[in-house]
Structure formats: C-alpha cells, structure tokens
Structure 1
Amino acid sequence: MRALHLRRATALVTATVVLGGLPALTAAAAPARSTASAAHHPRPTEVRPVPLQGAVNVRDLGGYRTDRGRQVRHGQVFRGDALGRLTDADLAALAALDLRTVLDFRTPEEVARDGADRLPAGLAPTARPVADLGLYATTTAAIGSKDPVKQRELLGDGKAERLMRDIYRTFVTDRDSRRQFAATLRDVATGRTPLLFHCTSGKDRTGWMGYLLLRALDVPSPAAERDYLLSNAFRAEADRKVREGLRQSGYMEDPGLLVPLQEVRADYLGAALDQIRRDYGGFHGYLTKGLGLDARTLAGLRARLVR
C-alpha cells in the first residue's frame, strides 16, 4: 500500500512538472500563495490572454501583423494548456469565446493521469496525441528517486536541454506528429473555427503549433518566436511554486534541474527549425512536403485568419 501511494504521489508531482500542469501538491508540500510577478518575462500589450482560474496559458493568437502589414484576426484561434481543472466561472469564460473546436495534443497516458478536458456544454475535445519522446518517464524516474545524485545524472550537465531539443526535432521528423499538426492546420483552413488547441503546459507541442500557424500566415519569424516565448511569462509563477513544493516536500534537493523542462527557449525552437532546413530546405518545404499542405489549404488559412 505504501509503495502504491508513493507511485501515485510521484506521478502527481511529475505531472505538474514535466508536462506543465498547475501545482497540485498536497497542502503540506505546497508553498504559500505568492503575488510575485514575472517581471523578467514581460508580456507584450497586444497579446490577449484568456484569464482562467484553472489554467494559466490560454490566449488568443490574433493581433500579429503579417509581413505585408495585414493583421491576424482575433477570436478565431486560441492556444492553451490543460483544461481539466477549469472552474464553473472558467467554463462561462470559454463559452463566451463561441468555440466550435477543441483539439487536445496530450497522449492517452496524460489524459488518463490528469483527466479529460472540462468544457462548456455542447463541446467535446478531438484527440490529436503528439508523443513526448520519453520526457514523462525520464522525469518520473528522477523525481521519484528522491536521490540528488540520480537526479543530476538524469537531468544535469545539459541532459535536460538535450532532451528538449530532441523533442523539438521529432516535431519535424516524426510522421505521426507531422500528421497531427497538419490536420490542425487543415481544420483552421476549412472553417472549424473558433478553435482552441492545447497540450498540458501549452508551451511545447502547443507552442510549436502556434509558431507554425503564425508563420503559415506570413507573420515574420521574430514575432512568431516572441509568441512562442511568452509561455515563460504566463507559466513563471506556477512553475516556481512547483519547484518550491518539490524542495519543501523533500522530493528534490535541487529543483532548479527542472527549469530546462519547464521553460521554452529559443534554442529549442531553433532545433526544430534547423531540422526543417536539413529535411525540407526551408519552412515552405516543411509545410508542403512535410505536412502535405497544398496551395489551396494555405490560401484558405490566410483567407480565414488574415484581414
């Protein structure tokens, strides 16, 4: 019984760390609520977050300017983190978005562990699982060991960063991942909007999808990258609480080892873009050859989302 409790507790804290859920530690382990701001991760004023109590990284992808000076429409595509802990007030806020489609990039294991999306009446999520390349298993082993030496062996000396870069490369190389991202772009192009896509943290799979969409709409790369990096601002306080909870509960002597897994970084995105150059010669080749999108689909994206 004690071993079962330990496995469940380990899975719970890992869920909050690896794939970015909100802190869900026991009351004894959780630090006091803080009002500290993420001043070192400023949020551009044009970004429109969707304030929710049960999720921290839900926002509108509209408002960005294309390289021709046009603007991405607001209220059509949203990106987010896990939606399983939404409150009744959150459901009302989501209902006000008039969503037609919700796409979930989490794996079946994540959904079973964290729970299905909680959505307004009449909405059901569409599963679009994208694998994590062993991220969850690696971090489970590290946290569950409670052993500082093993944790450093698994995550220290640049290992966590290398794992993250490898995950981003698989967004480009893995056929199933490409299929899920392509299907999402087709959903937008064929009018299944307003649409929200999400994973658990809303930063890696969701961040890559957001970057792809903005670039497909001819938003310049620096602006699309800025949107990708904004997850650090929206997640900063929740992630800090998780690290402090792990330290106080005795799971980790050095929870800073988890920072590379909790953050998004330009070099993670750069790993995927480098893979695109190697495999497809450039971004357009990835869209057309890697994702199999034809000119009609790409034109449909711009027609629906750019004004």
Structure 2
Amino acid sequence: MNTRVNTRVRPHSPPHRHTRPLARARSVAITAMAAAALTVGLLPSAASASAAAHRPYAPPIHQIALQGAVNVRDVGGYRTYDGEQVRYGVAYRADALNKATDTDVTTLARLGLREVVDFRVPLELQYDGPDRLPAGVAPTSRPVTDSGLYAAMLSAIGSKDPAVQDAMLGHGKAEALMRTEYQAFVSDPAARTRFGATLKDLASGRGPVLFHCTSGKDRTGWESYVLLRAVGVPAATAEQDYLASNGFRAAADAALRAGLKQSGVMQNPDLLIPLQEVRSDYLNAALSQLGTQYGDLYGYLTRGLGLSVRDLAGLRSRLVP
C-alpha cells in the first residue's frame, strides 16, 4: 500500500497545517495493522518465508525455581515467525503461589512484578488459600471456569470408594472432563473477558505480569499458548511450551498419587493422571471450539477476547524487540 501523502500546495495557498499530523496518524494506523497482521500470521509471504527458514525453536525454558511451586516460568525466549525473540522479564506463568515460602517471596520480589493475575475459582481459593506475594503486590482475581473439574476431583478423592472413583474418572471420563474444560475456555463469555483483560494489561505495558491457576497448566497453559501465538510464535513452538508442564509437574504429581495410595484414600490413583497432565488432545479441543466460533485466531483475539488492533500491536511491541 502506498502511504505517501502529497503535501504540494497551490501557489499563494497557505500550507495545510493538519497534513503532517494526519499523515503521522495514518502511518501509525498502518503500522499497527501490519503488526497485528504479523502477530496472527496474516502475512502469508513473510510467514511462509520464515517458516521455511526456521523450524520450531525451543530455547532452554527459564524456570523460576521456587520451593512452594513447581511450574513457574518466564514466557520469553521463543522465536517468532520473522526470526525475532520474545523478551524475557515481561510475562510469567505459574501454578498457585499459596505455598510460597519466605524465600520464594524474596525470589518473586526480584522479578519486579506489577501484577499477579489469579485465574482460580472461589472453591480453589477456599481449599488452597490465597497467594503469598511480595509487599506491594496484590493479586488480581479473575476467576476462569474449570467446568467443575476441581469439585469433581475433590468429590472423587473424598469418597474413598474405589467403585465411585472408577465411575467418576475411569473409562475415559477424566479425559472427557478435561476436553469440556478446554472448550469452555473459548465458549464461556466470562472466561473470554478475563483472558482478554490479562492480555490487555500486558499490551498496555503494565508488566511484568504473572498469571496463574492451581497447577499452572490448563487455564494458564491456554493463556500462554494464545499469548505466544498472538505475538507471532509458531503454533508448534507454542504447543511445546504448553506441553512442558508435564515435565515440571511430574514429580509433584507422582508424589500426590503415591500419598493417596499409601494413605488408603485411592486404590487406583492413576485415575488422576488424565487430570494432572496436559495433552495435545485437550489443547485441540479448545482450538476446535475456537475454529467453530471464530473461524481463526484473529477472530478469537478480536471478537472473542475483545482485543483491538492497537492492543495486538501493543502486545507485539511489549514482548518482541
């Protein structure tokens, strides 16, 4: 598109004072639209060239080592379609911080966090407790539905009845619960509002921002996936980041299952594995719902999450040099 503005005036005519401001405004708008298009892969020539030159890139993930949480990470480091790298120190993802130790709080303080967004629903907060955060950082509560998953898990475990637990979680039931939860990330209006608000906070430069749920893998995993895609990270790479939760959570999740079996609460604690893991099948359930409702990622970001072109450009400029 030719964005040149003709500023020539007729002889004896006074110069148009508003020509330059209008030209600047038009240039800013075009730049914002181009940046937004790039972030969601709407520039096929650039994306295709980059995809051919760059295979999915997964740098060593920058984990924030804490004693009371196991899945705390910097979202930065990944390469975009055009070969740039997502900045470190702007966005963080985590599991719940209610068990953070004093040492953990000191570690979190060093991150310079401006906002901590908690996606947990009231039942999770009631059962697990609020975050422990550095002085001056108050949690922003943005509960995102888990489609009753947490309550179902508590009910199954609390029954202490192998038959009840098998009926509730066995024979593909647990996997079905997970797919339902992921579909709701897209279909539930309140979930979209809260996911969108967090991305808008990042776009506005409020960071560093940390967002989390209970395990830091499902609601947090979806938000991280969408954020990475929105700033131009290829789908395969964003999915690698999503699936990495399995490695970070493996030891803690296995210890929970072992404790439940040893205490006699669950005869077959492996029934919990589908609830404890992230799987491409779950992510695809959300992506399928996204395609059904919005057609593509750009539609979900703009019509679903309410992000403007300026918001998308802001995300790109904040997270990508």
TM-score (norm 1): 0.85
Give distance in 2, aligned partners of 1:45 and 1:291: 29
Does residue 215 of structure 1 match 2:229? Answer: yes
Residue aligning to 1:185: 199
| Structure 1 portions without partners, runs of 5+ | 1-43
Alignment-mate amino acid for residue 275 of structure 1: Q
Deviation at 1:144, TM superposition (A): 1.4
Residue 142 (structure 2) aligns with: 128
Counterpart residue number, 2:73: 59
Residues 26-74 of structure 1 show CA distances to partners (whole Å, capped at 9, x for unaligned) of: xxxxxxxxxxxxxxxxxx6521000000100000000000001111000
Letter in 2 for 1:137: A
1:248 aligns to 2:232 (yes or no): no
1:274 aligns with 2:303: no
What fraction of aligned residue pairs are identical, expressed as a percent?
Answer: 61
SS in 2 for 1:126: strand
Aligned equivalents of 1:209 and 1:51: distance in 2? 21
1:152 shift after superposition? 0.8
1:226-237 paired onto structure 2 within 5 Å: 226-237=240-251
Q: What are the within-5 Å matches in structure 2 for residues 163-178 of structure 1? A: 163-178=177-192
Match of 2:171 among 157, 176, 183: 157
Q: Give the structure 1 partner of residue 276 of structure 2.
A: 262
Residue in 1 aligned with 2:8? Answer: none
- CA shift, 1:137, in A, is 2.0
Please provide the CA RMSD for this pair: 0.9
Q: Which amino acid aligns with 2:173?
A: K
- Matched with 1:101 is 115
Q: Which one of 105, 115, 118 corresponds to residue 132 of structure 2? A: 118
Correspondence for 1:82: 96
Aligned to 1:165, the other structure's residue is in SS state helix
Contact 2:113 2:208 in 1 (8 A): yes
Partners of 1:199 and 1:161 in 2: CA distance: 19
> Are positions 1:47 and 2:55 aligned together?
no
Q: Can you list the C-alpha shifts for 1:200-228, whole angstroms capped at 9, x where unaligned?
A: 11000000010010000010000000000
Cα distance in 2 for partners of 1:96, 1:172 equals 34
Equivalence for 2:159: 145
- Listed one character per residue, the Cα deviations across residues 162-185 of structure 1 (whole Å, up to 9, x for unaligned) are 010000000000000000000000
Contact (CA 8 Å) 2:59, 2:77: kept in 1 or not?
no
Q: Distance in 1 between matches of 2:306 and 2:119?
A: 19
1-structure distance, mates of 2:295, 2:314? 24
Q: CA–CA distance in 2 between the matches of 1:53 and 1:45?
A: 24
Letter in 2 for 1:105: F
Alpha-carbon separation, structure 2, partners of 1:65 and 1:49: 18
Q: Any idea what SS the aligned residue of 1:102 has? A: strand
1:231-265 Cα shifts (integer Å, max 9, x gaps): 00000000000000000101111100000000000
Structure with the bigger RCO (C-alpha within 8 Å, sep 6+) is: 1
Cα separation, 1, equivalents of 2:105 and 2:277: 27
**Deviating more after overlay: 107-116 vs 89-98:** 107-116
Aligned mates of 1:49, 1:126 — CA distance in 2: 22
Tell me the CA shift for residue 141 of structure 1.
2.0
Aligned to 1:34: none
The whole-number CA distance in structure 2 between the counterparts of 1:183 and 1:91 is 25
